[in-house]
Amino acid sequence: MDLDGTTHDDDDDVKFELLCDDLLEFILLRLDSPICLVRAASVCKRWRHVIADAGFLRRICSLHRPTVAGLYSVGHQASPIREVKLRPIFIPSPSVAAAIDHRRHLSPVFLYMYRRILDSCGSLLLLEPRLCTFQDITVYEPFTRLYRLINPPAPRESGHCSVVGAYLLGGGDADDEAAGCAAASMSNFRVVCTFYDHHDRAAHASVLDQRNFIGRAGGSLYWATRDGKVHVLNGITMETSTFTFPDNETWSSSLCLDIWLRYYHNRVLRVVDCGGGAARMVCFAGLNLEVFSRPRGGEKWAPEKSVRLPENTLQFVPEGLEGYYVFDSLFETMVTAGAGFVVFAPSEDAPLLFQIDLETEVVTFKLKDRRYNVPQFPCELPWPPALHACV
């Protein structure tokens, strides 16, 4: 490095071209959204070369969580009891709405073709064209408008099995645990179907039912049953395991009822992915949000923190809506969850939704249109983004 100490202001426009590779890489690793990263990779050949490197992309994905583009909904109640057909919607995240043309690239129009969103993971949605048949279920990426039809095969030669759930996971590679946890994208996904065997009358037969589903983390799927058990399907080894919910008291006072009466978008218990394969379990206990985690990556779950909700959310309620601001420990529900966050409603009918970041405990406010009181599936921007051209 030969930096002339007497350099003056006039000709240092080109200075940044002199920056060494290490420093340039450090700087570019701080870009935390795919929008910035894709744009930075189009500045010049050198920047593109640094960013498109496979090692760089792996590191940046481990440093920053994926960006949630927004929430999709087909617009009708997924409740098994009543079904009201409404307009499909997409609610963009504020940062994404400000940066990209979401009306064009993330329009929910395609949802008119489908009855239900079964699941979402990474930048993908899993869609069901006809209710409860699981025929031609479709993996769809709104960004690229690419799709793939999936017809789940029967698990055994007997025709007495029915599909009770279908889920999306990132691509599984038994040799590379990190890859198994990677965000799902069109070039990296698996669909996991669970079946009910009508000949198998064992008590646990329909445990892995979509109605018992409580979330995903670190490439694994989680279900909970009335007996206080949580069931885990390891998405890498495809083995199942079961453990007892860590807080007996909370379970018997509120959660056991929840499992029976509620469904995925109307639950008081969730498992949330917190990056790097870490999972948190989140539940409502009265007016508190209780958070459980596995310290030091061990097997045992322990209480981590407790967030008192009314005190932490009141300041976000806009003027004129205070009347709706009632926390009801019977009807507060987690509407949806994504990497590191949950979205919850304080009571059944209020047009209020709050999003809480489990790491920072920062609460943000969303307004829910009362007519669209529906499940919402988060869709992420591709992370890492595809960077194959001109490298």
Partner 1 sequence: MAAATDDAGDSNEMIRVVSSDGEHFEMPEAAANLSLVLRHMIEDDCADAAGIPLAVVAAKPLAKIVDYCTKHAAKSSGLTIEEAEELKRFDAEFIEVDTDMLYDLLVAADFMGVEGLSKLAVQRTADLIKGKTPEQNRETFGIVNDFTPEEEEEICKENEWAFQITKPPSRLC
204 binds partner 1 (CB under 8 A): no
Exactly one of 101, 175, 311, 319 binds partner 1 (CB under 8 A); that residue is 101
Give the C-alpha separation, 240 to 286, whole Å.
Answer: 31
Compute the least distance from the CB of residue 19 to partner 1, in Å.
Answer: 7
Phi-psi group of 67: left, alpha or beta (phi > 0 → left; psi -120 to 50 → alpha; rest → beta) = beta
Cβ atoms of 181 and 219 within 8 Å: the answer is yes
Contact between 387 and partner 1 by CB under 8 A: the answer reads: yes
Minimum CB separation from partner 1 for residue 6, in Å?
6
**351, 383, 356, 382: which is closest to 367 by C-alpha?**
351
Query: What are the backbone dihedrals phi and psi of residue 315, each rounded to the nearest 5 degrees, phi first?
Result: -60, -20
The answer to the question of residue 43 lying near partner 1 (CB under 8 A) is yes
Task: Map tokens 């990677």 to a residue.
Answer: 182
By CB under 8 A, which span of 60-68, 91-99, 190-198, 203-211 interacts with partner 1? 91-99
Residue 371 binds to partner 1 (criterion: CB under 8 A): no
**What is the total count of residues that contact partner 1 (CB under 8 A)?**
51
Cα-Cα-Cα-Cα dihedral sign, residues 58, 60, 62, 67: negative
Find the binding residues for partner 1 in span 210-239 (CB under 8 A): none
Tokens standing for residue 261: 């009466």
- Find the binding residues for partner 1 in span 23-42 (CB under 8 A): 23, 26-28, 30-31, 33-36, 38-42
The tokens for 328 are 């009801």
The CA–CA distances, whole Å, from 244 to 259, 269, 298 equal 14, 14, 15
Interface residues for partner 1 in 132-151 (CB under 8 A)? 143
Which amino acid is residue 382, in one-letter code?
A: P
Q: Which residue among 76, 102, 115, 270 contacts partner 1 (CB under 8 A)?
A: 102
Rg of the chain on CA atoms, in Å: 23
Report the 10 Å Cβ neighbour count for 168: 20
Among 82, 104, 199, 300, binds partner 1 (CB under 8 A): 104
In whole angstroms, what is the distance from residue 285 CA to residue 265 CA?
17
- Based on the shown chain and the rule CB under 8 A, indicate whether residue 386 belongs to the binding site for partner 1: yes
CB nearer to partner 1: give 44 or 131: 44
Q: Residue 353 in contact with residue 344, Cβ under 8 Å?
A: yes
User: Does 311 contact partner 1 by CB under 8 A?
Assistant: no
Q: Which residues contact 269 (CB under 8 A, 6 or more apart)?
A: 214, 224, 255, 258, 259, 281, 282, 283, 284, 334
Q: Shortest gap between Cβ of 5 and partner 1 (angstroms)?
A: 3
**Residue closer to partner 1, measured from CB, 176 or 361:** 361
Which residue in the set 146, 174, 321, 390 belongs to the binding site for partner 1 (CB under 8 A)?
390
Is 50 a binder of partner 1 (CB under 8 A)? no
Residue 73 DSSP SS3? strand
Q: Which is nearer to partner 1, 88 or 219 (CB)?
A: 88
Q: Which residues of the shown chain bind partner 1 in the complex (CB under 8 A)?
A: 1-3, 5-7, 9, 12-19, 23, 26-28, 30-31, 33-36, 38-45, 47-48, 97-105, 143, 385-390
